[in-house]
Amino acid sequence: MLTAEIRRRFLAHFENAGHTAVPSAPLLFDDPNLLFVNAGMVPFKPYFLGQETPLWDRAVSVQKCVRTGDIEEVGKTTRHGTFFQMCGNFSFGDYFKAGAIEFAWTLITGSVDDGGFGFDPDKVWVTVLHSDDEARQLWKDIAGLPDERIQSRGLLDNYWQMGVPGPGGPASEIYIDRGPEFGPDGGPIVDEDRFLEIWNLVFMQEEITNVTAKDKFDVVGPLPQENIDTGMGLERVAYLLQGKTNMYEIDEVFPVIEKASEITGRKYGADPIDDVRFRVIADHVRSGLMLMGDGVTPGNEARGYVLRRLLRRAVRSMRLLGYEDPALPQLLPVSLDRMKASYPELEADFPRIEKIAYAEEDAFRQTLGKGTQIFESAASAIKNTGGSSLPGDQAFALHDTYGFPIDLTLEMAAEQGLTVDEDGFRALMTEQRARAKADAKSKKGAHADTSIYRSTLDAGGPTEWLAYSTLTTESRVLALLAEGVDVPAISAGTVGEVVLDRTPFYAESGGQSADAGHITWDGGRAEVLDVQRPVRGLVVHQVRVLEGELTRDQNVEAAVDPEWRLGARQAHSGTHVVHAALREVLGPTALQAGSYNRPGYLRLDYGWSGALSPDQLHGVEEASNRALRADLPVTAQTMSLQEARDFGALALFGETYGEDVRVVEIGGPWSRELCGGTHVDRSSQIGTVVITSDGSVGAGNRRIEALTGIEGFDYLARERDVVRQLTDILKAQPGEVPGRVQDLLERLKTAEKAVESAKAAQLLGAAGDIASAAKDVNGVAYVGHRAEGANGGDVRTLALDIRGRMPKDKPAVVVVIGTADDKPSTVVALNEAAQAKGLSANTFVGLVGEKLGGRGGGKADVAQGGGTDVSAIPAALAAVEGALGA
Q: What is the 3-state secondary structure (H, E, C) of 408-467?
A: HHHHHHHHCCCEECHHHHHHHHHHHHHHHHHHHHHHCCCCHHHHHHHHHHHHHCCCEECC
228 pLDDT tier (thresholds 50, 70, 90): very high
For residue 447, pLDDT beyond 70: no
For residue 396, pLDDT beyond 90: no
Q: Decide if 547 contacts 511 (C-beta within 8 A).
A: no
What local confidence, expressed as pLDDT, does residue 757 receive? 73
Q: What is the DSSP string of 498-545?
A: EEESEE-PPPSBTTBPPP-EEEEETTEEEEEEEEE-SSTT--EEEEEE
What local confidence, expressed as pLDDT, does residue 449 receive? 52
Angle between helices 392-402 and 422-443 (to 10 degrees): 50
Q: Binding site for Zn(2+): what residues are annotated?
A: 572, 576, 675, 679
* CA separation for the pair 525, 506 (Å, rounded): 19
What local confidence, expressed as pLDDT, does residue 764 receive? 67
What local confidence, expressed as pLDDT, does residue 560 receive? 97
200 pLDDT tier (thresholds 50, 70, 90): very high
Length of the chain: 886
Question: How do strand 150-153 and strand 124-129 relate by DSSP bridges?
Answer: parallel
Q: Which of 368, 84, 282 is nearest to 198 (CA)?
A: 84
Pick the range with the lowest mean pLDDT from 289-303, 317-331, 427-441. Answer: 427-441
Q: Decide if 346 contacts 252 (C-beta within 8 A).
A: no
What local confidence, expressed as pLDDT, does residue 352 receive? 86
What local confidence, expressed as pLDDT, does residue 755 receive? 80
* 425 or 564, which is more confident: 564
Half-sphere exposure of 539 (CA within 13 A, CB side): 23
Superfamily of domain 565-718: Threonyl-trna Synthetase; Chain A, domain 2 (3.30.980.10)
The SS3 of residue 236 is helix
Most confident of the following: 89-98, 379-388, 790-799: 89-98
In whole angstroms, how large is the CA radius of gyration of the chain?
34
CATH architecture observed for domain 3-248: 2-Layer Sandwich (3.30)
DSSP one-letter code for 631:
T
Q: Which residues of 391-403 are buried (b: 16+ CB within 10 A; e: fewer)?
A: ebebbbbbbeebb
Average pLDDT over residues 789-813: 90
What local confidence, expressed as pLDDT, does residue 621 receive? 96
426 pLDDT tier (thresholds 50, 70, 90): confident
Most confident of the following: 27-41, 109-123, 758-772: 109-123
Pick the range with the lowest mean pLDDT from 125-139, 215-229, 367-381, 819-833. Answer: 367-381
From the centroid of its chain, how far is CA 785? 49
Close Cβ partners of 621 (under 8 Å, ≥ 6 residues apart): 581, 689, 690, 691, 706
* CA separation for the pair 274, 633 (Å, rounded): 60
Average pLDDT over residues 291-313: 85
549 pLDDT tier (thresholds 50, 70, 90): very high
The SS3 of residue 167 is strand
Average pLDDT over residues 103-121: 96
Query: First and final CA of the chain: distance in angstroms?
Result: 76
CATH code for 449-560? Answer: 2.40.30.130
405 pLDDT tier (thresholds 50, 70, 90): low
For residue 331, pLDDT beyond 50: yes
- CB-CB neighbours of 272 under 10 Å: 8
Name the helix (H) or strand (E) containing 717. helix 709-730
Average pLDDT, the chain: 90
Average pLDDT over residues 296-302: 79
For residue 137, pLDDT beyond 60: yes
For residue 54, pLDDT beyond 50: yes
What local confidence, expressed as pLDDT, does residue 28 receive? 84
For residue 157, pLDDT beyond 60: yes
65 pLDDT tier (thresholds 50, 70, 90): very high
For residue 762, pLDDT beyond 80: no
What local confidence, expressed as pLDDT, does residue 78 receive? 72
417 pLDDT tier (thresholds 50, 70, 90): confident
What local confidence, expressed as pLDDT, does residue 446 receive? 41
Could you give the C-alpha distances from 855 to 6, 135, 866, 879, in angstroms and in order?
58, 66, 6, 15
What local confidence, expressed as pLDDT, does residue 32 receive? 63
The model carries a pTM of: 0.68
What local confidence, expressed as pLDDT, does residue 492 receive? 92
Longest dimension (CA), the chain: 102
For residue 448, pLDDT beyond 50: no
Average pLDDT over residues 244-272: 94
What local confidence, expressed as pLDDT, does residue 440 receive? 45
Q: In percent, how much of the chain has pLDDT > 70?
A: 95
* 39 or 443, which is more confident: 39
Pick the range with the lowest mean pLDDT from 317-326, 412-421, 530-539. Answer: 412-421
Close Cβ partners of 332 (under 8 Å, ≥ 6 residues apart): 285, 288, 289, 353, 354, 357
For 250, phi then psi, to 5°, come to -80, 170
Q: Binding site: what residues are annotated?
A: 572, 576, 675, 679
* 404 or 860, which is more confident: 860
For residue 239, pLDDT beyond 60: yes
* 657 or 406, which is more confident: 406
For residue 824, pLDDT beyond 90: yes
CATH architecture observed for domain 768-885: Roll (3.10)
What local confidence, expressed as pLDDT, does residue 444 receive? 40
Average pLDDT over residues 322-350: 94
Q: Decide if 314 contacts 284 (C-beta within 8 A).
A: yes
What local confidence, expressed as pLDDT, does residue 454 receive? 79
* 137 or 855, which is more confident: 137
Q: Decide if 709 contacts 692 (C-beta within 8 A).
A: no
* 873 or 436, which is more confident: 873
